[in-house]
């Protein structure tokens, strides 16, 4: 058990403590080596408040809260290594944002019929499964992540008959379907919440988290991820409800077994229709350990108060295990788990734990001390560090998810280097890193084209509620409009949500009607054009996906980094005993000396037409080791 007499060095043996310390130094922009300093390691937890002084006014509270958190895994048994083969480990999974993929009925909004029209494209690309962002009935406060009815299809997207046809057509092409399931919260227009708000003693009265105001203020000081307090009130109850996201997204009360029964029933409904797996939105937030005030110190560091009470709640494992045994069965379960680290993720996904299959963790998406609203150039050495961390020892116990883009982040090519001349080279470099990685590969629509951020002109062109709220919050805080716009533009989720660019026609082949959000650079980047060019980013993705299928060492082989401490170069072997492949990547915008690798090799892929004496800017090569 961890107590106040525990030394920092001893914390590193605790899986949660190890992750939390790593996360905190990352948010602070401090090198992790600080924790390994002999003086720091020798400190007892009880001495930290004295050393912290005024810089950490609530140090005692933080220490006690962290001790409780760390001790959740005090009796956890060591995990065993595994290399069991599953279809989803070998799969390349393609995420579709339905609203922006293909309009099938001419109203400017993507839909299920539009997706059906493009299934042959996805089959030709080589993907094995399709993950759809939410398609359930929703008032669209957060583009479908606010569900009004889990057993109905969003009107704009089509009908239940369309969904059933989509499932049939996907299976007919020997692909699988994964649905995005949002069960941390619902829409405030869901019948459960409407009844809960009106009838506190009724059937749904305790389906959500309600608390009375405290001393004339909100029940606690938690912040919403979409700006403002995490609590709001209704006219029909004398209590406020918790919403970690939008006011229209009230959090479900997972302490109530009836809520868990409802979730299992929803999963059963869609599994019976043939759905092959589920991506669970912010699933690690479902267990709230307490509703106490969040630490002021942690709130300032993380930018949101209260996270320590719910990012790894004390009943999280219990709830996930229950869902797995009662409902998910053999379906693929992918958890989105913001804030968790590698050791926690092992416990969430190891086969023997029977909870999730893999998780999305986001440490690699921003450099140390940065967030996506910061204006900076992403350093690929950070991605290298993160990949080394999960593809080695971690993957011996739990299977990683490998991705660099999704519907919640700007385009990675733009973050790395906006130089248009390097666009295709960087896009292909990312493809090499993804498709030679040890883990399940997830691609996001448009990524296979080398899509970049959109040159939005002003706030009127944005649709994302987070961006809109962020801008308003900045203005209210005194930020000048020009600077507020610049900040929002850096991190807006709308960069990844503009229509898929199929052609260079007026609406990019997405629709014949003006789309719900503006189109990007369709003339420079579209599917039709890239299919006709053998050296395009799209053709590179097709080639690399097939290469991964042809060489099982790229899936199940060991990961052996070479000279991992060296900056700006990333070299590694993938080896399954029968075959050995070597990958070398230049992580910077200058030519560097080519590392020396042993043995005779055959070049299988390069993002440059010809090889020189060194590695060109962002050059990435794959070799087969012959002897």
**Which residues are annotated as catalytic?**
281, 336
Give 431's contacts (C-beta < 8 A, 6+ positions apart).
448, 537, 540, 541, 544
Cα 347 off chain centre by = 18
**SS in 3 state form for 23-89?**
HHHHHCCCCHHHHHCHHHHHCEHHHHHHHHHHHCCCHHHHHHHHHHHHHHHCCCCCCCCCCCCCHHH
Q: Long-range contacts for 214-217 (Cβ within 8 Å, ≥24 apart)? A: none
Tokens of 105: 């009925």
Which has the closest alpha carbon to 449: 112, 117, 125? 125
Which has the closest alpha carbon to 405: 337, 518, 496? 496
Read off the DSSP letter of residue 251: B
What is the C-alpha separation between 294 and 622, in angstroms, rounded?
Answer: 48
Phi, psi of 259 (to 5 degrees): -65, -45
Angstrom CA distances, 529 to 465, 469, 507, 539, stand at 33, 37, 15, 11
Does residue 437 sit in helix, strand or coil? coil
Give 532's contacts (C-beta < 8 A, 6+ positions apart).
none
What is the C-alpha separation between 136 and 154, in angstroms, rounded?
Answer: 5
Burial class (CB in 10 A: 0-12, 13-18, 19+), 276: buried
CB-CB contact of 336 with 359 (8 Å): yes
- A 10 A CB-CB count for 503 gives 15
The DSSP line for 327-376 is IITTSEEEEE-TT--HHHHHHHH-GGG-S-SEEE--GGGS-TT--TTS--
Rounded-to-10 torsion of CA 443, 446, 449, 451: -110
CB-CB contact of 115 with 102 (8 Å): yes
Burial class (CB in 10 A: 0-12, 13-18, 19+), 407: buried
What is the C-alpha separation between 368 and 351, in angstroms, rounded?
Answer: 31
Distance in angstroms between the alpha carbons of the first and the last residue of the chain: 51
Which has the closest alpha carbon to 180: 133, 130, 245, 111? 133
Phi, psi of 58 (to 5 degrees): -105, 35
What is the C-alpha separation between 119 and 121, in angstroms, rounded?
Answer: 5
CB-CB contact of 242 with 231 (8 Å): yes
């Amino acid at each position: 058990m961890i107590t106040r007499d525990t030394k920092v060095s001893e914390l590193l043996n605790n899986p949660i403590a190890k992750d939390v310390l790593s996360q905190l130094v990352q948010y602070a922009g401090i090198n992790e080596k600080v924790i390994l300093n002999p003086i720091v390691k020798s400190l007892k937890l009880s001495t930290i408040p004295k050393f912290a002084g005024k810089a950490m006014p609530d140090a005692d509270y933080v220490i006690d809260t962290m001790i409780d958190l760390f001790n959740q895994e005090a009796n956890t048994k060591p995990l065993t290594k595994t290399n069991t083969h599953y279809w989803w480990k070998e799969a390349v999974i393609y995420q579709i944002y339905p609203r922006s993929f293909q309009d099938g009925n001419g109203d400017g909004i993507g839909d299920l019929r539009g997706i059906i029209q493009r299934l042959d494209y996805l089959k030709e690309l080589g993907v094995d499964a399709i993950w759809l962002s939410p398609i359930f009935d929703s008032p669209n406060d957060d583009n479908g992540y606010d569900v009004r009815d889990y057993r109905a299809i969003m009107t704009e997207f089509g009908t239940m008959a369309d969904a059933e046809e989509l499932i049939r057509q996907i299976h007919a092409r020997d692909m699988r379907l994964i649905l995005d399931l949002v069960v941390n919260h619902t829409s405030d227009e869901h019948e459960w919440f409407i009844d809960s708000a009106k009838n506190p003693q009724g059937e749904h009265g305790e389906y959500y988290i309600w608390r009375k105001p405290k001393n004339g203020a909100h029940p606690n000081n938690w912040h919403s991820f979409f700006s403002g307090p995490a609590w709001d009130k209704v006219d029909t109850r004398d209590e406020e409800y918790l919403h970690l996201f939008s006011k229209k997204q009230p959090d479900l009360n997972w302490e109530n077994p009836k809520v868990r029964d409802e979730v299992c029933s929803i999963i059963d409904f869609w599994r019976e229709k043939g759905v092959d797996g589920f991506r669970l939105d912010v699933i690690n937030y479902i267990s709230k350990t307490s509703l106490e005030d969040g630490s002021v110190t942690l709130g300032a560091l993380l930018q949101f108060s209260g996270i320590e009470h719910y990012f790894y709640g004390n009943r999280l494992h219990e709830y996930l295990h229950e869902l797995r045994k009662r409902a998910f069965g053999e379906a693929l379960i992918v958890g989105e788990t913001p804030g968790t680290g590698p050791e926690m993720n092992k416990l969430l996904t190891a086969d023997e734990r029977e909870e999730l299959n893999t998780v999305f963790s986001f440490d690699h998406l921003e450099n140390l001390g940065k967030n996506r609203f910061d204006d900076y150039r992403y350093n690929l050495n950070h991605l290298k560090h993160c990949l080394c961390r999960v593809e080695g020892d971690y993957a011996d116990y739990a299977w990683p998810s490998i991705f660099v883009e999704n519907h919640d982040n700007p385009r990675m090519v733009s973050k790395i280097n906006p130089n248009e001349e390097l666009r295709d080279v960087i896009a292909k470099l990312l493809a090499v890193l993804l498709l030679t990685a040890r883990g399940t590969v997830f691609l996001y629509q448009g990524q296979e084209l080398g899509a970049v951020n959109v040159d939005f002109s002003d706030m009127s062109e944005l649709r994302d509620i987070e961006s809109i709220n962020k801008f308003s919050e900045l203005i209210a805080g005194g930020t000048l409009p020009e600077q507020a716009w610049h900040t929002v533009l850096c991190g807006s989720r709308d960069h990844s949500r503009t229509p898929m660019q199929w052609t260079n026609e007026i609406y990019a082949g997405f629709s014949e009607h003006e789309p719900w959000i503006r189109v990007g650079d369709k003339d420079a980047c579209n599917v039709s054009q890239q299919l006709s060019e053998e050296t395009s980013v799209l053709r590179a993705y097709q080639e690399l996906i097939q290469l991964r299928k042809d060489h099982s060492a790229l899936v199940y082989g060991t990961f052996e980094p070479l000279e991992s401490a060296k900056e700006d170069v990333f070299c590694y072997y993938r080896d399954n005993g029968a075959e050995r492949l070597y990958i070398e990547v230049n992580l910077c915008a200058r030519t560097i000396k080519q590392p020396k690798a042993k043995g005779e090799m055959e070049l299988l892929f390069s993002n440059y037409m010809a090889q020189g004496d060194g590695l060109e800017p962002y050059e990435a090569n794959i070799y087969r080791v012959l002897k």
